[in-house]
Structure 1
Amino acid sequence: MRRFFSILVFCLGTSAAAAQEAPQSEPPMTFVRMAEIISQLDEDARVQGNVIELTLADVPVMVIADPVADRMRAMVPIRSADGLDADELMRLMQANFDTALDARYAVAQGRLWGTFIHPMSPLEQNQLISALAQTVTVALTYGQAYSSGALSFGGGDSRGIYEDILRDLLERGEEL
């Protein structure tokens, strides 16, 4: 077991160093750039302070940025957390491990949310678009596939839902 952790720490350290040395192909993500990208995805997107509200696939999305902490969070309300039983919470945790991928299910302020949380400056345009698509998809597949759609294990409909949303968003983002 100790050998496993030593290898894991070495791999994580090597990956982190390589990531720091790798040149970024785009300028750092800023709140202004994020708002410009999002406005291409939803021309009715609204900016209020450090929050951008938009709608994708008829799902309301909030993107909150904290430039000082260099963090961003995309959030989609799914349902009230009231009535979530142990089996449902277990299923959400399983999905966070294997099918939600970069998006996650979370409970806060009495609600179940689909979320994506990431450092802001290294986020590239296509990663942002994929993050929004995954976050919307975890909401749309809640109660069924519990999937972000990015990778789906099985022959369900979630992969097609994700691909349609991602394709549409990438096409709109090409105008940048």
Structure 2
Amino acid sequence: MAQVSDTLKVKEERAIVMNDSIFNDVEYEPLAPARAAFYSAVLPGLGQAYNKKYWKIPIIYAGMATGVYFYKKQNDDYHRFRDAYKRRLAGYTDDEFQGISNDRLINAQKSAQKNKSVSIIVTLAFYLLNVIDANVDAHLRQYEVREDLSLQPNLEVNPFNSQAQYGMSLTYRFK
């Protein structure tokens, strides 16, 4: 009768395990920038709240409120100048701008109208910057930036012509 022996062989393998620093611990979400921009378009500042950048919300509202404030102020001034000019054309001389000529009142109306337009542009610019900031911030939030990556300015003097040469150096330190 044949004898069967049961033997177990163990093979030992050694490997070096390194943390992969290329990939984030947080899962990549491709729709996060679009979602943040949509939130900011619907309600200014909501995209910044979604990105957890709460400190930007008062800046957005302050910029937009400033534009609205100056629009209202210029609109009121425009109507004051316009009403005074209309009263003068009707023959009245009891307006609040008695020392100002009709030409100056016309120029003041034009200036107030122009400033109203600038105020609208400022308000819209803050609104658009709010949407763009939320989108860009959501994009950048998905990139991992560690301390072992640095960008430093570099200044060297060319030994042949003694002129300064400027540059940037990108340094990555391996652990």
Q: State TM-score, norm by structure 2.
A: 0.23
Which of structures 1 and 2 has the larger relative contact order (alpha carbons within 8 angstroms, sep 6+)?
Answer: 2
Greater strand content: 1
Greater helix content: 2
Q: State TM-score, norm by structure 1.
A: 0.23
Instruction: Report the structure number with the largest CA radius of gyration.
Output: 2
